[in-house]
Amino acid sequence: MRQRLLEGGADGFHDYELLEYVLALAIPRQDVKPLAKELLAQFGDLPAVIAASPGELTRVKGVGESVAAALKFVEALSVRQLQRRALEKPLLSNFDAVTDYLHARLAHELTEEFRVLFLDNRNRLVRDEKFGEGTVNQAPAYPREIVKRAIELQASAVILVHNHPSGDPTPSRDDIQLTRAIADAAKPLGIQLHDHLVIARTGHVSLRAEGLI
């Protein structure tokens, strides 16, 4: 497998084979193909396996701390690579890379998480911060706190982001109301709300593209 990868790249590999190689690094001298296939069966696909929490992973028979840690390192490398690519250019001119990064970070989370991307006057990222983590269908976010933080960071604009663990990225009524409340709080202070992105396993929705801002 190592020689195949080095000579021909990853295109010719099945997902279970890529996962098998990572597992073999964590559990040497053992046939880990059955475990790779079991993980894919349990979680549905390779991204979901990599995004699963250590607690979820170790509930699968044969997965110990070393395997869980190896998979979380793979996830961290993937997210870091996508984050760097997203930050190479101003965010609004590099939006596909930004959504790839956000999807990798949030799409497979089991609870809602609300994040804010703070941008400078050239639309470069100043800070990416989590503002709330909620239940399976709700994450608290507070317009006043977001605007206050934007002022502290001397940010000129913000992009709101949260995930829908249900897998459906369709914005809810609460999502729309919150977006408009944050926009109304930010506008008098010269802080622009560029967008609110809803991330889910099946894709994402931009409230601005939908005409909801």
- What is the DSSP code string of 99-132? HHHHHHHHTT-SS-EEEEEEE-TTS-EEEEEEEE
The per-residue pLDDT for range 60-70, each reduced to its tens digit, is 999 999 999 99
**Main-chain phi, psi angles of 11, to 5 degrees:** -60, -35
Strand-pairing partners, residue 115, are 130, 161
CA distance linking residue 124 with residue 173, whole number of Å: 30
Nearest to 59 by CA among 45, 42, 72, 76: 42
- Which residue would you say has higher pLDDT here, 142 or 154? 154
Residue with tokens 């601005």: 208
> Residue 85 has what pLDDT?
74
- Which residue would you say has higher pLDDT here, 82 or 32? 32
Tokens of 18: 């890529």
Contact 106, 163 (CB under 8 A): yes
Dihedral, CA of residue 6, residue 12, residue 17 and residue 19, to nearest 10: 70
- Which residue would you say has higher pLDDT here, 125 or 180? 180
pLDDT-based confidence at residue 36 (cuts at 50, 70, 90): very high
